[in-house]
């Protein structure tokens, strides 16, 4: 077989490259994804495309399908989302992480309800929480605007196609713009993303089944998995904290979280420990703040968040403070793990110390 032709800027056979990928997409693309379905008018629902693109920014598709279905069941229309209390939106988003996305989605739904859906890239970009990727995705997928998307899958495909080890964001966007099929921008964007998700995978690309193998400089190099070079990861910060459960798994004292990571969620009262600080010192400080009496150590849970690994020491505590129904509160996975420590106690396997 002849060696693949190396490409530097625009491929010499751009029409052939586009045809190869779009033919593959027609046969092997992920057409069954619910946000890709056409409505009665033969067009996609921009609301469903938008929700999917926001949700999938930090969530793999396999898990995102469950979250997507749950969220759309709770808020089937943009009007329903705009009218919903923030707590209800956060509860429906529970488990997806990066909760600022849900808060911004609700804010933007209010704008859309008042002004109508944007019809182009600039209009989508003006909405709260919508960045260049999401604006390009919705504009191309729902309205056919010729806007190229640039996400992790696109970055990997283009890095290998051009054998670019360290592609910058600007470089990826420029190459994506060069390759975009202006006649079928939505199909093209989905085809590149699907190729990256199912064939041009990070560690073990399936080059034998790749429709772009004949154009791929990384394949020609013999080491396609070497592109792109691994990113330098930010150091993970170890966080130690203490939390108390005042109540039980059905009714407990909860506090409102602050900050960008878990802001707006409810959670067990907690205190971060200083370096070298003993857990009981943090427990005493926390109980003093709550006016509570410390109880038994229920256990330890660990949870990874963005650039953080949290180790949480969980204690029982006793107070007459008002309790909140746990089932209706939007909680992080860390709080659910902590509450799960109550199960052996409630089942009578252990008694108080």
For helices 46-55 and 61-74, give the axis angle rounded to 10 degrees. Answer: 130
Q: What is the mean pLDDT of the chain?
A: 91
Domain residue ranges of the chain, discontinuous segments joined by +: 14-226, 237-346
CB atoms within 10 A of CB 214: 17
* Domain 14-226 and domain 237-346 have a common topology: no
- Report pLDDT digits (tens) over 221-277: 999 999 999 988 888 899 999 999 999 999 999 999 876 556 678 999 999 999 999
Q: Can you give the pLDDT at residue 2?
A: 43
Q: Can you give the pLDDT at residue 116?
A: 97
Q: Which two tokens stand for residue 238?
A: 């170890």
Q: Can you give the pLDDT at residue 263?
A: 65
- pTM score of the predicted model: 0.84
Mean pLDDT of 123-150: 97
- Report pLDDT digits (tens) over 47-80: 999 999 999 987 888 889 999 999 999 999 999 9
CATH topology of domain 14-226: Endonuclease III; domain 1 (1.10.340)
Q: For residue 191, name the pLDDT band (cuts at 50, 70, 90).
A: very high
- Report pLDDT digits (tens) over 295-351: 999 999 999 887 889 999 999 999 999 999 999 999 999 999 999 999 876 665 444
Give the percent of the chain with pLDDT over 70. 93
Q: Catalytic residue among 40, 53, 272, 313, which? A: 53
User: Residue 105 burial by CB count (10 A; 0-12/13-18/19+): exposed, middle or buried?
Assistant: buried
Q: Can you give the pLDDT at residue 347?
A: 60
- Residue 66 among the catalytic residues: no
- Report pLDDT digits (tens) over 109-131: 999 999 999 999 999 999 999 99
Q: For residue 10, name the pLDDT band (cuts at 50, 70, 90).
A: low
Q: Can you give the pLDDT at residue 12?
A: 74
Q: Can you give the pLDDT at residue 92?
A: 95
Q: What angle do CA 269, 63, 134 make, to 5 degrees?
A: 90
Q: Can you give the pLDDT at residue 233?
A: 80
Rounded to whole angstroms, how far apart are CA atoms 328 and 266? 10
Q: Can you give the pLDDT at residue 306?
A: 73
Give the percent of the chain with pLDDT over 90. 79
Q: For residue 6, name the pLDDT band (cuts at 50, 70, 90).
A: very low
Q: Can you give the pLDDT at residue 350?
A: 47
Q: Can you give the pLDDT at residue 260?
A: 57
- Give me the architecture of the 237-346 domain, per CATH: Alpha-Beta Complex (3.90)
Rounded to whole angstroms, how far apart are CA atoms 266 and 273? 20
CB atoms within 10 A of CB 247: 22
């Amino acid at each position: 077989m002849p060696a693949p032709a190396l490409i530097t800027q625009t491929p010499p056979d751009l029409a052939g490259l586009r045809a190869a990928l779009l033919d593959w997409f027609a046969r092997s693309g992920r057409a069954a994804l619910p946000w890709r379905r056409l409505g009665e008018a033969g067009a996609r629902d921009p609301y469903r495309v938008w929700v999917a693109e926001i949700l999938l920014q930090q969530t793999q598709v396999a898990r995102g399908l469950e979250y997507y279905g749950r969220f759309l069941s709770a808020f089937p229309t943009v009007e329903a989302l705009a009218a919903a209390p923030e707590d209800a939106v956060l509860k429906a988003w529970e488990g997806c992480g990066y909760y600022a996305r849900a808060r911004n989605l609700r804010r933007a739904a209010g704008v859309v309800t008042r002004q109508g859906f944007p019809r182009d890239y600039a209009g989508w970009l003006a909405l709260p929480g919508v960045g260049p990727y999401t604006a390009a995705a919705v504009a191309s997928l729902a309205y056919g605007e010729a806007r190229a998307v640039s996400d992790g899958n696109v970055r990997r495909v283009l890095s290998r196609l051009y054998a670019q080890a360290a592609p910058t964001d600007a470089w990826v966007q420029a190459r994506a713009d060069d390759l975009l099929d202006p006649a079928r921008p939505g199909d093209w964007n989905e085809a590149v993303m699907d190729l990256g998700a199912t064939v041009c995978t990070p560690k073990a690309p399936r080059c034998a089944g790749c429709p772009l193998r004949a154009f791929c400089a990384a394949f020609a190099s013999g080491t396609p998995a070497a592109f792109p070079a691994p990113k330098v990861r930010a150091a993970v910060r170890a966080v130690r904290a203490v939390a108390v459960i005042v109540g039980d798994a059905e009714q407990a004292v909860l506090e409102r979280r602050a900050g960008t990571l878990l802001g707006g969620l409810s959670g067990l009262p907690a205190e971060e420990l200083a370096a070298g600080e003993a857990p009981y010192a943090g427990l005493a400080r926390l109980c003093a703040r709550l006016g509570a009496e410390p109880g038994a150590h229920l256990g330890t849970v660990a949870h990874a968040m963005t650039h953080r690994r949290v180790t949480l020491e969980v204690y029982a505590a006793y107070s007459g403070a008002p309790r909140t129904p746990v089932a209706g509160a939007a909680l992080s996975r860390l709080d659910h793990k902590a509450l799960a420590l109550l199960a052996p106690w409630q089942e009578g396997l252990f008694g108080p110390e």
